[in-house]
Amino acid sequence: MLSRATVILLLWALAGCGGGSSGASAAPPEPGAGGATCRATTFMGRDSLMIGATMEDATAAAAPFDARYRYLAGGIRPAGTCTATCAPDCADWWGCWQDPALPPGQYLLDHLRTTAAAAWQGSARPQMPVITYYEILQSLQVAEGAAEVAAVNDAAFLGRYLDDWRFLLQRIGDARVMLHIEPDFWGFVRQVNENPHAVPAPVAQANPTDCSAHENSMAGLARCMIAMTRKYAPMAAVGLHASPWDYTVAGDGAAVSAFMVALGAADGDFVVTDPADRDAGYYSSLGQDRWWTDASAAQYLAWSRQVADGVGRPTVIWQVPLGNMAQNNTRNHWQDTRLDYLFAHLREVALAGIVALLFGAGMPDQTTPESDGGNLVARTTANWRAGGTALCQ
């Protein structure tokens, strides 16, 4: 009898692994690492592993990048303001991160326009816009973790939060975008209770327009946010975040995927993971060992495969540190091995059910695409010249 994970994977292969109108195509099986098979598929209309980053315009034009991501953070819209114009007290809200004379949401629309108009070496090469929506923690101004999870159990706050999410989706409309919901937060929910149905959140009361059919729990919140995406931004792909904090612990991949399924991640199109928020050399300066070895890197890919298999959705590795061993461990020039390891093992990355690698620092003063000595640009260009890396599952 086929296992549940195998059945999910077969359905995934048949239905495609992307949002909107993306579909899947199959090729004859090829031998892969560990006896796995690799079949070419498409995700968001693309049949090769996407490479992208958060970067400046000049960097985005310096290599054949596939995607470009932006954070939306800083807090949701202040209550009762910033609806039609950007008043002075709206400056911290993402909807007014532009000339205040322009209407709310223009910052997002500018990102969509810039990525759509991207080019490389004189030829049009549109990039996939990716939005990381990270608003709960900074909106609540509470301690990260259990206190943050508890504070969401407030109908007034949650109503404003879901209004902000709706505004974002309405601005996106029919554009093709990848939406990444709340890094770290779902991991903290899991720390509170392995069963997200048991962690309260007044979803239906907070947003009766969109969430009346969803239960009042964190699972209901996640599922409603995905359902709202389908309603207001039907061409977008959406994914929840799975925190790999214990990826080296035996069985964690299965445990995380079970939690993510209970949360509602299978209703989405992908799952996001992140290997670190800062360069390993920076952590070493603080006396912490956060280095990837060949063994721990392979464990991360194996964990990613377990999550993809268990949820039945591909994964995206996001916010990969940009450090490399040619750096000198000073501000903006820290060492790390993650980027070079992943580019040296792209076949294994694809076999792990990963559809995109997105590079960027999670904190200021880390190595960036502008300070890494041109390493990301060179690696991305070399991968493209070699024909790219076919998606696998």
CB 238 within 8 A of CB 19: yes
In this structure, what token pair is assigned to residue 29?
Answer: 């099986």
Determine the Cα–Cα distance for residues 305 and 317; give it in Å rounded to an integer: 12
What is the maximal distance between C-alpha atoms in the chain? 63
Structural domain includes residue 393: no
Structural domain includes residue 207: yes
Structural domain includes residue 392: no
Exposure on the CB side of residue 212, measured as CA atoms within 13 A: 2
CB 327 within 8 A of CB 368: no
CB 279 within 8 A of CB 366: yes
**Dihedrals φ, ψ of 9, to 5°?**
-65, -40
User: What confidence score (pLDDT) does residue 19 get?
Assistant: 37
User: What confidence score (pLDDT) does residue 37 get?
Assistant: 55
User: What confidence score (pLDDT) does residue 358 get?
Assistant: 98
Cα dihedral across residues 98, 169, 235, 135: positive or negative? positive
Q: Pick from 194, 96, 95, 185: which is nearest to 142 by CA?
A: 185
Domain count, the chain: 1
User: What confidence score (pLDDT) does residue 81 get?
Assistant: 82
The tens-digit pLDDT sequence of the chain (393 residues) is 333 333 323 333 323 333 343 333 333 233 333 445 555 588 998 999 999 999 999 999 999 999 999 999 999 998 878 888 898 788 889 999 999 889 999 999 999 999 999 999 999 999 999 999 999 999 998 999 999 999 999 999 999 999 999 999 999 999 999 999 999 999 999 999 999 999 999 999 999 999 999 999 999 999 999 999 999 999 999 999 999 999 999 999 999 999 999 999 999 999 999 999 999 999 999 999 999 999 999 999 999 999 999 999 999 999 999 999 999 999 999 999 999 999 999 999 999 999 999 999 999 999 999 999 999 999 999 999 999 999 975
In this structure, what token pair is assigned to residue 355?
Answer: 């559809």
Dihedral of the CA atoms 200, 205, 211, 213 (nearest 10)?
Answer: 80
**Dihedrals φ, ψ of 218, to 5°?**
-65, -30
Could you report the per-residue pLDDT of 363-383, keeping only the tens digit for each? 999 999 999 999 999 999 999
Q: Domain of 270: which CATH number?
A: 3.20.20.80
Classify burial at 316, counting beta carbons within 10 Å of its beta carbon; exposed 0-12, middle 13-18, buried 19 or more: buried
Cα dihedral across residues 53, 226, 231, 170: positive or negative? negative
User: What confidence score (pLDDT) does residue 25 get?
Assistant: 31
Could you report the per-residue pLDDT of 79-120, keeping only the tens digit for each? 878 888 898 788 889 999 999 889 999 999 999 999 999 999
Could you report the per-residue pLDDT of 1-24, keeping only the tens digit for each? 333 333 323 333 323 333 343 333
Structural domain includes residue 390: no
Determine the Cα–Cα distance for residues 107 and 90; give it in Å rounded to an integer: 13
Q: What does the radius of gyration of the chain's CA atoms come to, in whole angstroms?
A: 20
Q: Which residues contact 288 (CB under 8 A, 6 or more apart)?
A: none
Structural domain includes residue 34: yes
CB 269 within 8 A of CB 308: no
In this structure, what token pair is assigned to residue 151?
Answer: 């504070």
Query: ∠ at Cα 62 (56, 66), nearest 5°?
Result: 80
Determine the Cα–Cα distance for residues 19 and 10; give it in Å rounded to an integer: 17
Structural domain includes residue 151: yes
In terms of residue numbers, what domain contains 120?
4-16+25-385
